[in-house]
Structure 1
């Protein structure tokens, strides 16, 4: 299939955080394949450079900006550099997340808790706040937060991370209500177990993997490209009447709080 046949995002400018690997990379690539001008970001300059060169070698319209989403100056620079290059922002995909803690929830330190919520939730809100005025000038836009199936089912050992992903579901609903008057749609994607470095502890241990597969009706681990297609749809005009939704892509795993 040609890049042109993947269209419907032509003329759009997209910012994707944590876009140098896994789900973020797949999303950035798919948005660019759909015709969007994409700005990829990550906290490590070398990873940004590698990803930008890789996607540009495919003939895609991509630039990279180093950005630690937890730092105000980096968030502002990401927005400023995007505007300097493209003059507008139509799409924000907030994918950045960390998990510095594994263990019993009650053993989580305040420091680890703060880091998880600063990156996984607070930075998503603050970057949205930074970008919404520019979308308003464009007459609208699309924001997608990347949550997790863990937001519906707290995973063993990942309590704080799971709770932060639940918080994104609420942020989606509240932000969608607030941004509707600007014709800005806000949605959320909750991936299931996807084959990435982030989930390698689950997918590379055969006993753990088998236990996970027992919970997945499709009986397989997802791949990042499947998330890219879903996000591209949500950012397109084909999804123009969809906002405030939390869409689970988890092979049939139950997704109720």
Structure 2
């Protein structure tokens, strides 16, 4: 699909640079391959080095221009280190930032601990907020920057045992609106995408938990 679209110059990302957080699995992995198919040069991050190495080996065999580095997006110092890597790798500019990394651990509201709340907000919202801040000068330097937040249908609809996750994704949607207005003057476009249920490892874990609760 990406190869067909890439033949249409209106959809070409030839030579554009992109950072995709959480790019080794699920939606993030698919986004990387789509961006590359459209001509982009991509850098990914993940918490697990072995996952990065496996993906890079596969992409290298396919001739995909993808690099990667370890980053736990819940860690502020690691986010700063990631953006330093991007600054060096892409020579001070960045065309596309895809804030994809995040996860949902099923927990009922009454059982939600302070630690769980902090983890969900850090992985799903705080990381995206801070990375957008750090990326701003690079996106501005590109002259036509783009930020894409990967939100969730849980930001609009109510589901059991993911109240904090849904709230974090809802905050992400509002952040996208604010940044779209605030950074329009810098030629930075901002969008939030809220997919429904997609069969990924994360989704399977959540649904297994829900089925277990009903049994």
Within the candidate set 129, 136, 141, 2:133 is matched to 129
SS of equivalent to 1:122: helix
- CA shift for structure 1 position 201: 3.7
1: CA distance between counterparts of 2:129 and 2:85? 19
Q: 1:44 aligns with which of 33, 43, 48?
A: 48
Out of 52, 74, 81, the position equivalent to 1:77 is: 81
Task: Report the equivalent of 1:98.
Answer: 103
Q: Equivalents in 2 of 1:103, 1:129: separation in Å? A: 30
Q: How far apart are the structure 1 equivalents of 2:74 and 2:161?
A: 24
Distance 1:2 1:105 in 2: 41
Distance between the aligned counterparts of 2:114 and 2:206, measured in 1? Answer: 26
1:29 aligned partner: 33
Aligned counterpart, 1:249? none
Greater helix share, 1 or 2? 2
Q: What SS does structure 2 have at the residue aligned with 1:3?
A: helix
CA distance in 1 between counterparts of 2:116 and 2:69 reads: 27
CA positional deviation for 1:24: 0.4
In the TM superposition, what is the alpha-carbon distance from 1:202 to its structure 2 partner? 5.7
Unaligned runs of 5+ in 1: 209-257
Q: What is the CA distance between 1:177 and its match in structure 2?
A: 0.9
1:181 matches 2:193: no
TM-score by length of structure 1 reads: 0.75
Q: Which runs of 4+ in 1 moved over 3 A?
A: 1-5, 201-205
Q: C-alpha displacement at 1:126, in angstroms?
A: 0.3
How many residue pairs match? The answer is 206
Which structure 2 segments of 5+ residues have no match?
none
Q: Distance in 2 between matches of 1:2 and 1:99?
A: 29
Per-residue Cα deviation, 1:117-141 (whole angstroms, up to 9, x for no partner):
1111011010000001111112120
Equivalent residue of 1:97, what SS?
Answer: coil
Task: Tell me, in whole angstroms, the C-alpha distance in 2 between the residues paired with 1:103 and 1:92.
Answer: 30
**1:14 aligned to which of 8, 15, 18:** 18
Is the CA contact 1:154–1:163 (under 8 Å) kept in the aligned structure 2? no
TM-score in terms of structure 2 length: 0.89
Q: CA deviation at 1:176?
A: 0.8
For 1:202 and 1:160, how far apart are their aligned partners in 2? 14
Question: 1:14, 1:38 within 8 Å by CA — same for their partners in 2?
Answer: yes
